C-alpha cells in the first residue's frame, strides 16, 4: 500500500470513527427522535454534495489554470475559486434564461460530474501529493482531513439543531 493510499485510508477511518461516535452517542440518549435523525442525515448529504461540488470546481479550475507557479494550497485555493466563480456564472445564466428548477440543477451537476470527475479527483490528489490537505510535513498523516471533517461535521450538526429548534 503506497503512502497516499495509506493517508487516504487513515483519513477515511478517522471520519468513520467520528460518525460512529456520534451515531452511538445519539442512539443511546433519549432526545434522539426521527426528526433529529432526518436532520443529521440531511446535514451529512449536504456535506457530501458540497465536497463533490468543490472538487468539481477545483477540477474545472485546474483545467483552466494548470501551470500556476504558487505553493500547493494557494494553487488549489485559486483553482477552486476560479471553478466556483464559473459555476456561479453558469447558475446565473441558467436562472436568467430558463429559470432554475431543482431538476435542471441536478442535471447540470451530473453533466459536470461526467465531464470533470477525473479533473476533480486529480485536483484533490495533486494537492495531497504536494503537501496540502494533511499530506507532506504533517507529523500525523490523515490528521488534517480528519480534523477538518470533524469540525465541519460538528458545525453541520449544530446548524441542523438550530434549524429544527423552535426557539
Higher pLDDT among residues 103 and 131, named by residue: 103
- Of all residues in the chain, what percent carry a pLDDT higher than 90? 7
Name the pTM for this structure.
0.61
pLDDT band with cut points at 50, 70 and 90 for residue 164:
low
- The full set of domain ranges for the chain reads 3-26+43-65+73-164
DSSP-derived secondary structure letter, 131: T
What local confidence, expressed as pLDDT, does residue 159 receive? Answer: 57
Q: Residues with Cβ < 8 Å from 63, sequence gap 6 or more?
A: 116, 119
The mean-pLDDT minimum among 34-43, 73-82, 122-131, 137-146 falls in 137-146
Separation of alpha carbons 77 and 23, rounded Å? 32
Separation of alpha carbons 126 and 73, rounded Å? 10
pLDDT at 14 over 60: yes
Separation of alpha carbons 18 and 25, rounded Å? 11
Give per-residue burial for 74-90: e unless 16+ CB within 10 Å, then b.
Answer: ebbbbbbebbbeebeee
How does pLDDT run across 76-104, given as a tens digit for each residue?
Answer: 889 889 999 998 998 898 888 888 788 88
Separation of alpha carbons 67 and 75, rounded Å? 9
CA distances from 103 to 50, 91, 99, 119, 166 (A): 17, 13, 11, 24, 31
Amino acid at each position: 500500500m503506497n503512502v497516499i493510499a495509506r493517508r487516504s485510508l487513515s483519513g477515511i477511518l478517522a471520519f468513520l470513527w467520528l460518525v460512529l461516535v456520534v451515531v452511538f452517542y445519539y442512539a443511546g440518549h433519549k432526545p434522539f427522535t426521527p426528526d433529529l435523525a432526518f436532520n443529521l442525515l440531511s446535514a451529512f448529504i449536504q456535506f457530501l454534495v458540497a465536497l463533490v461540488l468543490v472538487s468539481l470546481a477545483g477540477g474545472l479550475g485546474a483545467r483552466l489554470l494548470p501551470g500556476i507557479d504558487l505553493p500547493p494550497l494557494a494553487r488549489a485555493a485559486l483553482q477552486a475559486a476560479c471553478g466556483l466563480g464559473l459555476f456561479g456564472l453558469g447558475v446565473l445564466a441558467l436562472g436568467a434564461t430558463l429559470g432554475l428548477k431543482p431538476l435542471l440543477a441536478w442535471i447540470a451537476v451530473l453533466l459536470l460530474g461526467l465531464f470533470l470527475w477525473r479533473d476533480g479527483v486529480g485536483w484533490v490528489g495533486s494537492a495531497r501529493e504536494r503537501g496540502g490537505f494533511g499530506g507532506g510535513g504533517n507529523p500525523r498523516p490523515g490528521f488534517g482531513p480528519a480534523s477538518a471533517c470533524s469540525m465541519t461535521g460538528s458545525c453541520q450538526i449544530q446548524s441542523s439543531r438550530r434549524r429544527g429548534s423552535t426557539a
